[in-house]
Structure formats: C-alpha cells, structure tokens
C-alpha cells in the first residue's frame, strides 16, 4: 500500500526555522496537506494544496513541494507550535487517502 | 458554521459490537464525503475510509476493509462507524472529518472532537 515518510522528530529553538519533510512516490501527482495536532486535541489543517494556508493559520506556516518530497516550514517558531505534524495525500488514483507517520516538533 | 459532533466514549469487552456516530450540521450533509480516522494510543493518524451520504458510496483503506463498516443516515445527517466483534487492538480514538474532493484536492477540512473506544476484558 502507498506510504508517506516523515522524520519522527524535529527540534528547534524558539525563533528558529523548523522544516518537516514528507516523501512519497505519488507526491508529484497529488497535492499534500499538513495537519497540526496538539495533545488531547483533534488535528487542525495548517496547509492545503502543497502551499496554501487556511484562514486563521499564522503566516509563519508555509509549504513547498519538489518532486517526491513536500516540506512544511515554520518560520520564527514559537513555543505554541510544539505539536505533532502529519502530512496527508492520496494514492495515485486520488481515491484513497494516506497519512504520513507524523513528526513531533519540540521547541527547545 | 460546519460542525461534526461525535458520540461519547465507549468501554466494551472483546467480542462485543459497537456503532459510533458523527452528526454533521451547518452544511449540506449529502454533498460532502465523511471519513473516519483512527489514532491508537500514542500513535499516528490512520485513514480508514469514507462515505458519500448522498448515495452511500463507500471506500475503505485496504487495512480496514472487512474490519469495520461505514454507513450513513442522510435523514438525520449522521455517519456511523461500526464493529461486529471488537478486539483489544481496536482500542483507539476515532475521529470523523469532512473529506473534501474537488479540483484534484483530497483532504479533511473539518474534524469532529473524537470518540475514545476502549476494549478490555
């Protein structure tokens, strides 16, 4: 079955830039989406269509795509950004969704 | 305002059946797919499947095909996730979410609050 691969963890100091990657063979054909999940809460969409930001999401969140890898970038990381981040896309047919394994962002 | 409200936490024994619900409001329930996502304790999100309440077209991830059943009652704007015989490994938080499919986009736009299912003897 189709898989998306993320690093298990990323650590940054406050004010620095965090980059979280997600790799998958179908990413050149399918958009990627990013969700933030804080402990005890439901996930929240922070990036859609590779690089679009939903209303209400701070400008420090951005996304990019290159080949089989997409990247979530958080510029000027704040303590409140500490959370698990999941990428999501679809298989090559576009009918079945899939999540990456998730990345725990730690703000030092 | 789009809202998805899920049924409350459940504690069940292995072998029992269970049906949890997700009620949509604030939008046309029959015109959007609804999906279910599993999160086992301390683990990541898993895409289980989706249903289109307008015609009950349903799609399952291969990992969940035959393990659960997804249904919907459009007359009461409610989607369901059902087990016929629970196992301890079904212990997890289950989220419903509205699945957007348009113009090549496929993602969960709005989420329910989650339903915790605990299966223990």
pLDDT at A51: 97
Mind listing the pLDDT tens digit for each residue in A48-90?
Answer: 999 999 999 999 999 999 999 999 999 999 999 999 999 999 9
Q: Stretch B32-53: mean pLDDT, rounded? A: 97
Q: Do A42 and B95 touch (CB under 8 A)?
A: yes
Return the percent helix, strand and coil in chain B, to nearest 5.
5, 60, 35
Separation CA B70–CA B92 (nearest Å):
17
Which residue of A26, A42, A93 to mutate against B (max B Cβ within 10 Å)? A42
In this structure, is the dihedral angle defined by the CA atoms of residues A75, B103, A102 and B39, taken in order, positive or negative?
positive
pLDDT the model gives residue B25: 97
Position A1 confidence tier, pLDDT thresholds 50, 70, 90: confident
Measured CA to CA in angstroms, residue B30 lies from A15, B23, B55 at distances of 45, 12, 8
Residue B50, pLDDT above cutoff 90: yes
User: Quick one: what percent of chain B has pLDDT higher than 90?
Assistant: 96
Q: Write the DSSP symbol of residue B86.
A: -
Chain A residues closer than 8 Å to B105 by CB: 31, 48-49
Question: Cα separations (Å) of B17 from A77, B10, B13, B76, B85?
Answer: 45, 11, 9, 22, 5
pLDDT at A95 over 90: no
| CB atoms B104 and A45 under 8 Å | no
Q: Which residues of B touch A31 (CB under 8 A)?
A: 104-107
| A99 → closest Cβ in B44, B109, B111 | B44
User: Measured between CA atoms, how close is B121 to chain A, in angstroms?
Assistant: 25
DSSP B41: T
Classified as helix, coil or strand, B120 is coil
Say whether residue A88 is in contact with chain B using an 8 A CB cutoff. yes
Cα maximum dimension of chain B? 47
Query: To the nearest whole percent, how much of chain A has pLDDT over 70?
Result: 100
SS3 percent helix, strand, coil of chain A, rounded to 5, is 5, 50, 50
- Give the tens place of pLDDT for each residue, B69-121: 999 999 999 999 999 999 999 999 999 999 998 888 899 999 999 999 999 99
A vs B, Cβ pairs < 8 A, gives 66
Residue B20 · residue B54 · CB < 8 Å:
no
For residue range B14-27, list pLDDT tens digits in order.
999 999 999 999 99
pLDDT at B112: 98
Residue with tokens 């029959």: B30
């Amino acid at each position: 079955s189709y898989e998306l691969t993320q690093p298990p963890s990323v650590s940054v100091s406050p004010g620095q830039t965090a980059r979280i990657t997600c790799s998958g063979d179908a990413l050149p054909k399918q958009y990627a989406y990013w969700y933030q999940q804080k402990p005890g809460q439901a996930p929240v969409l922070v990036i859609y269509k590779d690089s679009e930001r939903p209303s209400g999401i701070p400008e420090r969140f951005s996304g990019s795509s290159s080949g089989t890898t997409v990247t979530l970038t958080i510029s000027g990381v704040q303590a409140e950004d500490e959370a698990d981040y999941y990428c999501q896309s679809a298989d090559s047919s576009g009918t079945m969704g899939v999540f990456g394994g998730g990345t725990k962002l730690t703000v030092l | 305002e789009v809202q998805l409200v899920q049924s409350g936490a459940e504690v069940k024994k292995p072998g029992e059946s269970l049906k949890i619900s997700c009620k949509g409001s604030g939008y046309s329930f029959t015109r959007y797919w609804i999906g279910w996502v599993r999160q086992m304790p301390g683990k990541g999100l898993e895409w289980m499947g989706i249903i289109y309440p307008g015609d009950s077209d349903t799609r399952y991830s291969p990992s969940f095909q035959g393990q659960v059943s997804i249904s919907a009652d459009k007359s009461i704007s409610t989607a369901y996730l059902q087990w016929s015989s629970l196992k301890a490994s079904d212990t997890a938080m289950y989220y419903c979410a509205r699945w957007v499919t348009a113009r090549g986009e496929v993602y969960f736009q709005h989420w329910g609050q989650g339903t915790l299912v605990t299966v223990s003897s």
